[in-house]
Amino acid sequence: MFSQVLTTYSWAEAQRAIHTKTARDVERALASTDRTLADFQALISPAAAPYLEDMARQSHFLTQQRFGKTMQLYAPLYLSNECQNICTYCAFSLDNKIRRRTLTDEEILREADALKAMGYEHVLLVTGEANQTVGVPYLKKAIQLLREQFAHLSMEVQPLDQPDYAELVAEGLHTVLVYQETYDQENYKKHHPKGKKANFTYRVETPDRLGRAGIYKIGLGALLGLSDWRTDSFFTALHLNYLEKMYWKTRYSISFPRLRPIDVLGAEGVTSRDFGQCMTDRELVQLICAYRLFNRDVELSLSTRESPRFRDHVIRLGITSISAGSKTNPGGYVVEPQSLEQFEISDERSPAEMAEVIRRAGYEPVWKDWDWSLMPT
């Protein structure tokens, strides 16, 4: 289990190693063709900032070489905002007095029809973490309802046990995203004081359970800014490196949810001092390029959290998957558009508008790149 690997590393030592990298370390990493975790530390370090243009050029080349001039499009489908966890940064947190809602079968199909009308074939199913309300039976039924309508079903819900994942994979689940939020265990406890999510070890072992259950793709990520983003990104890369060796038949993706002051300052008793460091746009570009230089095969995904201007500029720099027209509330597309969103989006352009932006950049928008018939029997 990755949790055992994690015990051999120190957060403080990893942080120190990143922040003491030199220009020579960065130049060595840029010149390498087989980059190590130490090279990745150099590429995300403050010392790499003056080399961003070179990093971007290499990232652009490697991405086109591996993925071509394509951009995958997906949309989240929020099924429920029920949650039994307290998370200091999330609108769905148990201690937030909001109206809770879980979509019925009929409502799920209405939301699905709206997404199909936009052209989507890849849907990400999202819920809060509430096993009694949106446990395996509910998720299984949702997959059964949607698997004939969409070519690609992903899921971002509470961590499950290995047999549960195996059961959902058999029903048509293709990908699971599970964000550790932060690999800093002390800070993790501070921001997850109650609920099953408070169990750091169970959460960090989730990708192991997914790999053993035979999932096709696993999505990783840290909530950038909850702790020191550079150190969290190093541990995400370490996690990716481990998983690729252990579960080599599985594909992987990394997402970049970036914490902004607007996301957290409304939470009761929470101030900006409770969080690590909000990234600048330039730092996020550096991180995207560093991941691509470190791993040519990993898919890199960017959500509508980011501004239109930023998203337009990073299309060429390493991103391979992007959402558009997203609603982050249950029933947000047609059933109940005014319900509380999990977080505010910044890019409100429609999927058609985003597809045109992608075409103008010289890329092809891809609505479907997967079919179960392609799987070996």
Provide the whole-model pTM: 0.93
Pairing mode of beta strands 364-366, 217-220: unpaired
**Are the beta carbons of 62 and 296 closer than 8 angstroms?**
yes
Helix (H, G, I), strand (E, B) or coil at 79: coil
Q: Is 10 exposed, middle or buried (0-12, 13-18, 19+ CB in 10 A)?
A: exposed
Residue 170 lies in a domain: yes
Residue 215 lies in a domain: yes
Examine the pLDDT at 272 and tell me if it is beyond 50. Answer: no
Q: Which residue has the tokens 């501004």?
A: 307
Structural domain span for residue 131: 69-226+250-285+299-369
Which residue would you say has higher pLDDT here, 132 or 241?
241
Q: Which of 75, 149, 69 is nearest to 349 (CA)?
A: 75
Q: Which of 109, 170, 168 is nearest to 140 (CA)?
A: 168
Over residues 264-269, the mean pLDDT reads: 43
* CATH number of the domain within which 157 lies: 3.20.20.70
Residue 237 lies in a domain: no
Residue 339 lies in a domain: yes
Which residue would you say has higher pLDDT here, 97 or 66?
66
Examine the pLDDT at 343 and tell me if it is beyond 90. Answer: no
Q: Which of 312, 335, 374 is nearest to 152 (CA)?
A: 374
Residue 294 lies in a domain: no
pLDDT in tens, 4-46: 999 999 999 999 999 999 999 999 999 998 999 999 999 999 9
Q: What is the count of structural domains for the chain?
A: 1
Residue 4 lies in a domain: no
First CA to last CA across the chain, in angstroms? 28
pLDDT in tens, 73-86: 999 999 999 999 99
Cα 158 from Cα 197, distance rounded (Å): 8
- The pLDDT value given to residue 149: 93
**Are the beta carbons of 10 and 230 closer than 8 angstroms?**
no
Helix (H, G, I), strand (E, B) or coil at 77: strand
**Are the beta carbons of 184 and 231 closer than 8 angstroms?**
yes
**Are the beta carbons of 209 and 160 closer than 8 angstroms?**
yes
**Strand locations in the chain, DSSP E?**
70-78, 122-126, 152-156, 175-177, 217-220, 251-255, 299-302, 321-323, 364-366
pLDDT in tens, 101-152: 999 999 999 999 999 999 999 999 999 999 999 999 999 999 999 999 999 9
- CA dihedral angle for residue 203, residue 207, residue 209, residue 214, rounded to 10 degrees: 160
Residue 259 lies in a domain: yes
Residue 140's DSSP bridge partners are none
Residue 11 lies in a domain: no
**Are the beta carbons of 304 and 324 closer than 8 angstroms?**
yes
For a pLDDT cut of 70, what percent of the chain falls above it? 91
Give Cα 314 to chain centroid, integer Å: 16
